[in-house]
A = this chain, B = another copy of it.
Amino acid sequence: MKKLSELRQHILNILEASEIPLTVEQIRERLRLKPNLSSIYRSLLYLEETGKALSLSFGTPFRFYCSYREHPAHYLFCKRCQSIQAFHVCFAQEIQDRLELENNFTITDHVFYFTGYCQRCRPFEKIQL
């Protein structure tokens, strides 16, 4: 019988306390006794499998994790400084039902984010390339 161990519960609390998705490193920073990274990865896998958490990436090589309680949130991801802002306008539901019907698809989640340049990084936009 699988259990929501102390570590898993702590990680879930951290995810629920954050408005934006966190990396594994950021989760570890927020844990007092620093568990092994593999334990964190395994905990996150468990939380995903039990539908308590969700992982996504913004095109970066590493993943971000968020709780379902905070979800559905949607994000602005800065391509330069990799900062994240959340916004809470969700119109996915409007088309979700139609998509499920038209495509014979069972939708469980969605991911929606914009990428670009945040306030600080706007001046650097034109410099790219």
What chain B residues lie within 8 Å of A41 (beta carbons)?
none
Main secondary structure of the interface of A (DSSP, over half): mixed
1/0 per residue, CB under 8 A from B, across A29-72: the answer is 00000000000000000000110000111110001000000000
Report the nearest B residue to A2, measured CB to CB: B129
Which B residues are CB-close (under 8 A) to A87? 99, 103
In this assembly, does A107 line the interface, its C-beta being within 8 Å of a C-beta of chain B? yes
Q: Note all chain B residues with C-beta closer than 8 A to A85.
A: 103, 105
Instruction: Find out whether the CB atom of A113 lies under 8 angstroms from the CB atom of B115.
Output: no
* Residues of chain B with a CB closer than 8 A to A14's CB: none
Q: Could you tell me the distance between the alpha carbons of A78 and B109 in the complex, rounded to whole angstroms?
A: 11
Residue of B nearest to A57 (CB): B57
Contact across chains for A114 and B92 when beta carbons are under 8 A apart: yes
**How distant is A89 from chain B, measured CB to nearest CB, in Å?**
5
Verify B115–A108 contact, CB threshold 8 A: yes
CB pair B129–A105 under 8 Å, yes or no, is: no
Contact B119 A115 (CB under 8 A): no
CB distance from A97 to the nearest CB of B (A): 11
Do residues B128 and A104 form an inter-chain contact, with CB atoms below 8 A? no
